[in-house]
Chain A
Amino acid sequence: MNHDTHTSPGTETEPVPAMQQILDNHFLLLFLGIALPTVLYIVWGIMEVVSIPIAK
């Protein structure tokens, strides 16, 4: 399906705003919703724990 336009019976094709295209792209949202907390919370947090010097 063309993501750039929406059509409905009896109406002319109208452009879909870029933000709405993002919000309509469910799998992009899924990617963002997993990638962002994974990087900012889990990966960053674990890297900080891993970088703690081991006691001698």
Chain B
Amino acid sequence: MAQFRVCPQSGLYFHKSAESLMKANAVAAVVFLLLAGVLALLVTLTRWPTVHLLPADAFYMVLTAHGINALLFWIIFFEMAVLYFASSTLLRSRLATPRWAWLGFWLMIIGAITTNVAIFQGASSVMMTSYVPMPAEPHFYLGLILFAVGALIGCFVFLGTLAVAKGENTYDGSIPLVTFGALTACIIAIFTIASGAIILIPTFLWSVGLISYIDPVMYRIVWWAMGHSSQQINVATHVAIWYAIAAIVFGAKPMSEKVSRGAYLLYILFLQLASAHHILVDPGVSSTWKIFNTSYAMYLAVLASMIHGLTVPGAIEAAQRKKGYTNGIFEWLRKAPWSNPVFSGMFMSLIMFGFLGGITGVVMGTEQINIIIHNTLYVPGHFHATVVAGTTLAFMAITYFLVPVLFRRELILPGLAKWQPYIFSIGIILFTLFMMGAGTMGVSRRHWDMSFADASTILGMTFEYPGTAKLMMGIVGISGVLSIIGGAMYVLIVVGSLLFGKKLEASAGFWQNFGVPLADSCYSPTRPERLGRPPVIEEHGSAGFEAPGTFVLAIVFLVTFVVYYFINWKYLASVWPMS
């Protein structure tokens, strides 16, 4: 008999098994974030020229571990929690096949540990991309395969739960928009994992000697179908979280469900194709393939992101104006709850993702101007703006909501929690901007020593970056440490709250944080009331211009976008003069 708990604070229903899985996945995510953060500190202190902390071998090992723990393990564990939340809780449904979900979870744990062991043994410092013919230990690939299989099981449990909810009639009409966003993430995840299987299984067989050769060009094409699409799962998920937080904090309704769902459809169809921008300087594929997959298909996905970037603040503005914040263009924004980390984290995630991550992504996806910054530090500058400023901050923001609602603990250190998104954001804004600045000056990514000391002493070659590039790398070091402090504040608040936060439910003990259910008295076998179709609302705009402030923000964004885009073309003209 399915058992449900209703949260007295939020009114949300939690199916017992789903609740346990959400907790286990979220806790695992935070553990891997902590590990990724410690490794980030070591990477940052090594790339800071004045400090230059680690020797070369240790640097490449730590960089490999940082990439995999941050980009895969932290994020995908958290996304599993989001999938179970968006299906079971938001649809008021029991979770399909909880035992399979637990099998998936444990495969992910075993896989993550196995890959970390392989990396820290020291013979698998192949970076996250693990390009062949650079070999890693077999258990490096095996761990990734196990992790991917576990995540795939989680995706099918999510789809199964949608089928259960539909079959048992737990909701009326279409699935809610946030669940639709999670469905988008799930679809992209299945493509991502299938691509990973296509390339990592042969690579594992190659590492144990059963296959003699893997073509490096072929590897790169298929690997990036996994490598970049895995980051597109994040985009779909954090956009769903933006919509969720707008509804939670403001009671905001999407400006147009049709438009938002249409934008998600563009993600489903086109977002994965952006993987091609990693292959833009590869000789093996034609310009037709490159340009179609980036400059045509990718722009449709960019359009979708711009739609979400418009409709989320637009919905918030409409909700705020209904509450009476109608003075001027920006009173709705000034009077927003900036001291609530759930809102401030979400809103800064949205702004940084658009202005820093989005615009630079288009620059990198344009074949001609990509050449200016390909494989420079600009690339990690861009993806830290999307994955850290965008996804990670959105995940942090929703955590502050979930700690009391899901874990039934009060947040400790609320004053620190208020400041955490700001410290993290200031750090990551400077970090990404100056990384991209240094990249534009040619500073390489994934390079231990920008002074090229070995090249000059061993090979007699000398090369020196301009002093500005070194200054920028110094600022990258300082701001990187600041953002890591912001991340450490998050881990401190969340872990401290789970361990020492005031119990909002008497049975919310230590082991309940890891997935052990609360006392039986918290759950009832009574099925939750059916989720009704949301009341039909007039489409925004039908009664006048409802979000003028958002319109102004959108114009500022578009002007920034156009100016930055053409600056890069001008820059290309100056570095590549035609005679």
Contact = CB atoms under 8 A, between A and B. Distances in A.
Interface of A: 1, 6, 8, 19-20, 23-24, 26-27, 29-30, 32-34, 36-38, 40-42, 44-46, 48-49, 52
Contact of B173 (A6, A30, A41, A44): A6
Contact of A49 (B187, B198, B218, B270): B218
Given A37-B191, A40-B292, 5 more contacts: A8-B172, A41-B221, A41-B225, A41-B272, A41-B293
Contacts of A49: 215, 217-218, 221, 284-285
Interface in B183-199: 183-184, 187-188, 190-191, 194-195, 198
Contacts of B418: none
B342 to A, nearest CB: 28
A25 B400 CA distance: 33
Interface residues of B, number: 45
A45 B279 contact: yes
Contacts of A32: 268-269
B225 A37 contact: yes
Interface string B166-187: 1000001111000010011001
B285 A48 contact: yes
A34 to B, nearest CB: 5
B225 A36 contact: no
Contacts, number: 88
Contacts of B269: 32-33, 36
A36 B532 CA distance: 34
B218 to A, nearest CB: 5
Given A8-B532, A42-B225, A33 B188 contact: yes
Main secondary structure of the interface of B (DSSP, over half): helix
Given A37-B272, A37-B273, A45-B221, A52 B284 contact: yes
A49 B286 CA distance: 9
Nearest to B187: A33
Nearest to B275: A41
Contacts of A41: 221, 225, 272-273, 275-276, 293
Contacts of B293: 40-41
B221 A26 contact: no
A6 B172 contact: yes
A6 B461 CA distance: 73
Nearest to A48: B285
B173 A29 contact: no
A34 B289 contact: no
Interface centre among A6, A27, A41 (most CB of B within 10 A): A41
